[in-house]
Amino acid sequence: MNWTRAVHHVELAASECARLAELPRTTGPVRVTQLWAFAAILGTPAELEAVEAALSLDLPAADVAWLTRPPAAEHWLGMTRLARNPISVLWRSAHAPVWNHRIVRPLLVWAIETGIDEAALTALREGRGHAAGLSEPSLDELAARLADERAISLQSLRAAATAYNDRQWTPTKLGPTADALWRASEGYLDLLDA
């Protein structure tokens, strides 16, 4: 997709986040508090296959391990219609830093407290997203962040493996349980490789 269309998808995502934030808390399954853009959309204008974004949720960090999806994430995406767009979403806890080894110098585009950041969208349009994003962490900060992420990911992996083991012999569908186990495993292994 061309650059203008990619930025449009970020704007649409921010608008949808704002729209859902105005609904009563009982309406939505999860509470998204921030939208961050990262990766190629922060660079100079170019053709992109997809836009990468991180959604911060009002959930404890232990409930949003790296590369996992909270139970109601699919429902939230369906309510926003973002799942139909070329946006690759990673889920993060609002109670921990959004950045890590793959989410580098992210740019805050929308926050529940402040709304859509027009300056951030302008920076994206002009190909200045990297300059407007968060500062790069020091090597010590990154190492500490990865240690925290690994601990949470290992806890998630253990919980998912236990849940799978507890349910694998029951006559129910294992799809959601198996998917959770796979995502937790993938997240932990990705962090080990970082």
Which H or E run contains 115? strand 115-116
CA pair distance 182, 113, nearest whole angstrom: 34
124 and 161 assigned to the same domain: no
Percent of the chain with pLDDT over 90: 64
Reported confidence tier of residue 28, pLDDT bands at 50, 70, 90: low
pTM comes to 0.86
One domain, residues 38 and 119: yes
Domain at 67, CATH number:
3.30.460.10
- Three-state SS string across 21-68, please? HCCCCCCCCCCEEEEEEEHHHHCCCCCCCCEEEEEEECCCHHHCCCCC
Please tell me the predicted confidence (pLDDT) of residue 74.
83
Instruction: Based on DSSP, count helices (H) and strands (E) in the chain, helices before strands.
Output: 6, 5
pLDDT for the residue 162? 78
Q: What is the pLDDT of residue 171?
A: 59
Answer yes or no: do 56 and 124 share one domain. Answer: yes
Instruction: Say if residue 108 is in the same domain as residue 91.
Output: yes
The closest alpha carbon to 159, from 123, 188, 118, 130, belongs to 188
Phi, psi of 70 (to 5 degrees): -60, 155
Query: Does 144 share its domain with 127?
Result: no
Determine contact, residues 77/89, Cβ cutoff 8 Å: yes
179 contact partners, CB below 8 Å, separation of at least 6: none
Question: Which among 131, 143, 59 has a CA at the least distance from the CA of 101?
Answer: 143
Model confidence over 124-172: pLDDT tens digits?
999 999 999 999 999 999 999 999 999 999 888 888 877 776 766 665 6
Residue 50 shares a structural domain with residue 128: yes
Across the range 72-82, mean pLDDT stands at 84
47 and 127 share one domain: yes
Of the residues 81, 105, 132, the one at which a domain ends: 132
Instruction: Answer yes or no: is pLDDT of 114 > 80.
Output: yes
Considering 132, 157, 185, which residue would you say is the last residue of a domain? 132
Domain count, the chain: 2
Distance CA 94, CA 112 (A): 11
- Domain of 148? 139-193
Q: Which residue has the tokens 């253990």?
A: 158
In this structure, is the dihedral angle defined by the CA atoms of residues 128, 134, 137 and 143, taken in order, positive or negative?
negative
Q: Is the pLDDT of residue 79 over 70?
A: yes
Q: Which of 116, 132, 148 is the last residue of a domain?
A: 132
Give the pLDDT mean for 50-73: 92
Mean pLDDT of the chain: 89
Compute CA distances 19 → 27, 33, 52, 113, whole Å.
12, 12, 20, 13
